[in-house]
Structure 1
């Protein structure tokens, strides 16, 4: 009985927040007509809503506060609920506080129809200096690939290799994917979606140099005699042994966030900025370096398949979502492009992301192949 009450209550909250699907709406209408117990409980919720104005309250719930709660759950390694669930939970508190109604919404979604997401992602590829292209599998099996100049070993979305070749190769990670690479010196590199890393199979002297476009996290193996240098289109970062994140997604901006150790980042015209752990340097070619403290959970969460966004314009969000999920997001021309939204994206829970948008920004969506239109 309690499970049935939970489901009715959650369906009612979804109706209030505008996230009830067409199939769920048909289910509600059918139950209202043919199930007296369902109708009695639904009518009780309707009466309480009229008294407490729950619908208006639900529209005023702070998305930023909900997102903060989700981040706390992640840092304590509890199961994470998506944004719509936290918003619904806030409405539950209102009803609970009235003393006339109490239900607990579980952290797992109620049984409901799912939308088939046809994500047609491109594979991760290694582009060799001789023009050869090697597709790298992300499955759990261990594979060995013998090349003329190297032996590759792949397993669970990670690549290791052995080679004495010092010519540059390119690891190409497409939209919607991520990948890990261990370089010849033991440096570990995590590559985010839509990222390219140029690197040699073996580092010569005097320095260890790589080139990145996109976003990558480096855990650099210490070597006092051979500095490690990461080049971007606008900057370079020099270290001996440390851990940092570098992001070049935004045109004309390079963001370097230091987690451990110390780095010196340099601009194309000679500007220099030394960073300490917990500090991020944003480099703009027209302004130079601007430093600030950063939230490590937010900056590095992409490595676990999560991306946070705060008061982000829809036009910016669809670019980030297209890259993150490997699908093409399109904003309907009639939708308010200046609208800002707050929430998170989980690479394995696209439906939850779309549902959250529907709740927080009243955005409908339409799927067609590998394209999602927001309207």
Structure 2
């Protein structure tokens, strides 16, 4: 439960950043006149802010700078969702959000997140499933204990969100990762594949003698084992990517578009009409059937952070963010699109911190939320 001290802190930073509503301003004035403890805390914050030049800092910051600062903080400690700011108030965390063209840079004391939302939704999550070629379905665990599953055509070992196997069967199987989850698969040739939420990978337990081919829908990161005699091909509904040994990310989440981002090695990606695009490390190719390929440099942290359960978003509309959040957390978000039209946000989502994500939206964008079954309504 939020303490009075935390409430005062939130109100002060909102006023400092120009985001305090008229109703909240009236409440602050009333409390300053009637509550000695409130006034003492408020005056203390004013003195700290003056000493640390917080107002100048808030005025000078922008969304991309703040997000880069957050990224740097995560690189130092992957468990931190925000970076500690020594120039600002002690033990404060930082979150940046843009609402209707104005910047809000919000500092708040770190408090343990409540668990009720995650607990209520966890029981409704779907399992990772392996659909075998002969029709059988195997549910795969994500806990740390190793589990061996003996099938008539394969032996599976599932442990800590990863699957390995031994088999000589060349028939196609499908690995389904539901919304809100991710999973790792090691193929028979040693190729490692990380699958993001709401993703399917079709693959054989054992590759044939001619080539190595798989099919993906959703998002996956491939670290392909080198084998010059057997090229590796990833097929999507619109493109195919051919490699020998390399690391790359492929994303088909958005209908009509495929993004291929190369981390190391080299790839050639081909469109459905015969178009070809060779990529160098650090570059991505976006393909649309009507326009062909567009190639640009990409930020590796942005593209690959999902493997660590983090998603960065840049100046994204709230309507688009909610679509991403539904897939990322595995819960359906409902948003009043007319009410929040034109609002754009920059920040991050942590898959293990749904409560923090909802709390941040409430604090910085004044969005209330209500949980009902497997659905969260934002209003």
Aligned Cα RMSD in Å?
3.2
Counterpart mapping for 1:3-152 below 5 A: 10-16=6-12, 38-39=37-38, 41-45=40-44, 62-77=62-77, 79-82=79-82, 93=88, 103-106=89-92, 110-111=110-111, 114=114, 116-117=116-117, 118-119=120-121, 120-152=124-156
Contact kept in structure 2, 1:309 and 1:342, CA below 8 Å: yes
Provide the rounded CA distance (Å) in 2 between the counterparts of 1:153 and 1:303.
21
Contact kept in structure 2, 1:123 and 1:137, CA below 8 Å: yes
1:345 aligns with 2:349: yes
Provide the rounded CA distance (Å) in 2 between the counterparts of 1:319 and 1:113.
23
Q: Secondary structure at the match of 2:40?
A: helix
Q: Secondary structure at the match of 2:163?
A: strand
1:214 aligns with 2:218: yes
Alignment CA distance shift 1:225-1:302 (3 Å): same
Query: Which residue of the other structure, out of 147, 153, 159, is the alignment partner of 2:163?
Result: 159
Provide the rounded CA distance (Å) in 2 between the counterparts of 1:128 and 1:297.
34
Query: Which residue of the other structure, out of 355, 361, 371, is the alignment partner of 1:367?
Result: 371
TM-superposed CA distance for 1:196, in Å, is: 0.1
Contact kept in structure 2, 1:123 and 1:136, CA below 8 Å: yes
**TM-score normalized with structure 1 length:** 0.83
Contact kept in structure 1, 2:164 and 2:185, CA below 8 Å: yes
Provide the rounded CA distance (Å) in 2 between the counterparts of 1:13 and 1:56.
18
Deviations 1:129-179 (A, max 9, x none): 111110000000011001111110011000000111111000000000000
Provide the rounded CA distance (Å) in 1 between the counterparts of 2:113 and 2:282.
43
Provide the rounded CA distance (Å) in 2 between the counterparts of 1:279 and 1:243.
12
- Structure 1: gaps (5+ residues): 1-6, 21-27, 94-102
TM-superposed CA distance for 1:64, in Å, is: 2.8
Contact kept in structure 1, 2:234 and 2:241, CA below 8 Å: yes
Q: How many residues align?
A: 345
**TM-score normalized with structure 2 length:** 0.82
Q: Secondary structure at the match of 2:69?
A: helix
Contact kept in structure 2, 1:280 and 1:291, CA below 8 Å: yes
Provide the rounded CA distance (Å) in 1 between the counterparts of 2:274 and 2:261.
20
TM-superposed CA distance for 1:335, in Å, is: 1.8
Provide the rounded CA distance (Å) in 1 between the counterparts of 2:334 and 2:60.
27
Provide the rounded CA distance (Å) in 1 between the counterparts of 2:294 and 2:40.
57
Provide the rounded CA distance (Å) in 1 between the counterparts of 2:349 and 2:243.
32
